[in-house]
Amino acid sequence: ASKDVVWDERLLATISQTQCVTFRNEILLCGGSNNRMCFSFNTSKKSYRMICKYPSDLHCLRGHVVISCKQILHHKIGKMKIIHVCYYYHLAERVGRKNKSEEMQNKWIPLRNMYDDIIKLKNYYSGTRACLGGSKGNLLFITCGNCLDVVDLLTFQYIVEDYKLPYFFFFHCMVFHSICNNADIINNIFYLIGKNCFMEIKHNEETNNIEIFVFMH
């Protein structure tokens, strides 16, 4: 560890199996094993501060995943099957700023559709990984076990559900690579990396067709 970083021992004891995303010069640490607290580490000031806590009904965060979309953090919890969203603002943005949605800032709340219904996922996703893609940035790709789901965050509908992968993945690495736009064919390309397995998945937005290429097993 760098000598310039001042570690808080009390914090280190709480961030096992956390999920992290970056926001400007901050690293956001979101929950963890038997821990509902979320922290920000400022890389310029080299200091921590607490942001918020997950709702009290989320008892176990082991196996959750957090992804960022501009100023929105989407969180999927396996046992609850509910997407939670956090509208994150750092301190500089909040000072002297009044907004009608201020009560929604820096706290985890269930994601709702246009009818104010809570969005619930159909499967349990403990040990899952996910990433955002799509030509409009609206497609949520979710992998867990040997299943691939794709959810359109504009309509909150599954466009691919329970697509079977040739291998099982838990607590793996999932990386979005690119959107390949060629002759009006839009392909979302991402990679799965698990134990002894490296796989490329290509999703065609127009046809919803999925191609899988296994590089190593």
Tens digit of each residue's pLDDT (9 = 90 or more) over 48-74? 888 888 888 776 677 788 887 753 445
Identify whether 125 is part of a domain: no
Number of domains in the chain: 2
Domain co-membership, 108 together with 2: yes
Domain co-membership, 171 together with 208: yes
Tokens standing for 62?
A: 């082991």
> What residues make up the domain containing 154?
132-216
Q: With H, G, I as helix, E, B as strand and everything else as coil, classify residue 31.
A: strand
Domain co-membership, 144 together with 97: no
Domain co-membership, 114 together with 167: no
Domain co-membership, 157 together with 76: no
Q: What is the largest CA-CA distance in the chain?
A: 55
Domain co-membership, 109 together with 154: no
Alpha carbon 120 to its chain's center:
15
Tell me how crowded residue 163 is: count the other CB atoms within 10 A of its CB: 16
Tens digit of each residue's pLDDT (9 = 90 or more) over 161-213? 899 999 999 889 999 888 776 666 789 999 999 988 999 999 999 899 999 99
Domain co-membership, 75 together with 161: no
Tens digit of each residue's pLDDT (9 = 90 or more) over 5-36? 555 545 654 577 888 888 888 888 888 877 88
Measure CA of the first residue to CA of the last residue in the chain; give whole Å: 34
Domain co-membership, 47 together with 144: no
Domain co-membership, 157 together with 61: no
Domain co-membership, 112 together with 11: yes
Q: What gap in Å lies between CA 198 and CA 172, rounded to an integer?
A: 10
Domain co-membership, 19 together with 115: yes
Identify whether 25 is part of a domain: yes
Please check the confidence at residue 89 and state whether its pLDDT lies above 80: no
Identify whether 127 is part of a domain: no
